[in-house]
Amino acid sequence: MNLRFIDWIWHVRGSMPLAPGHSEEDAFDRLDPLFRQVGTSHERTGDTLVFRKKDQAAQDKMSVFDGGTLRIENGVAGAVLRYHLTSRALLGCFLAPLLFLGFAQFTVAMGKLEKPPAEAAGKSGKAADASKKPNKKDAEPLQNPIDKALGAPAPEKKKKDKGGDEKPSPTPAYVFAALFAALYVVGRILEDRLIKALFRKKLLGS
């Protein structure tokens, strides 16, 4: 399987032209401050810069990326910067909805497995109740004669505890899946634009 068809999920690629008259050395010198952050290491060899990040600080403007390659190519229209960056954070946000959807489906499946025994128990209970005469003592709890003489209200009938009949709901899993899906879509689009704007500011700024 060619990973190129799916690696766009956590890979960000792009390009931009350099300002007229700027050499490879000038371009990399302008970008150099971005790769001198805490947790960042980089190597420059000719027209290529390779960087890696580990335990990067949140203040790092490129903290969402874990590594990448920047290369300057000379074309007919002039020099062009091409970059290829990777992000485990984007990959995690993409996989999280799939994980929560799996939890939701597992919850639904467990609910279906538990349903037949519950129905069987309900039917057997109805048959047993039909064969018995209603017991007034069970239907109406007795009141203490002293409490009755003092005018105390009669005790209320005990309500059936429905807690045991409640089944786990897949709704929370669906909610988290939707949240992470939205987070990925926004992050994927936003980070692509932010990194391009950052490189443009460094390369074309005064």
Q: What is the 3-class SS of the chain, one letter each residue? A: CCHHHCHHHCEEEEEEECCCCCCHHHHHHHHHHHHCCCCEEEEEECCEEEEEECCCCCCCCCCCCCEEEEEEEEECCEEEEEEEEECHHHHHHHHHHHHHHHHHHHHHHHHHHHHHHHHHHHHHHHHHHHHCCCCHHHHCCCCCHHHHHCCCCCCCCCCCCCHHHCCCCCHHHHHHHHHHHHHHHHHHHHHHHHHHHHHHHHHHCC
- The per-residue pLDDT for range 34-74, each reduced to its tens digit, is 999 999 999 999 899 999 999 999 899 999 999 999 999 98
Higher-confidence residue of 136 and 66: namely 66
pLDDT of residue 146: 47
Q: With cut-offs at 50, 70 and 90, classify the pLDDT of residue 5.
A: confident
Residue 132 pLDDT > 90, yes or no? no
State the pTM of this model: 0.70
- 167 compared with 191, residue with greater pLDDT: 191
Domains, the chain, in order of start with CATH, read 3-90+188-204 (3.30.530.50)
pLDDT level of residue 75 (50, 70, 90 thresholds)? confident
Mean pLDDT of the chain: 82
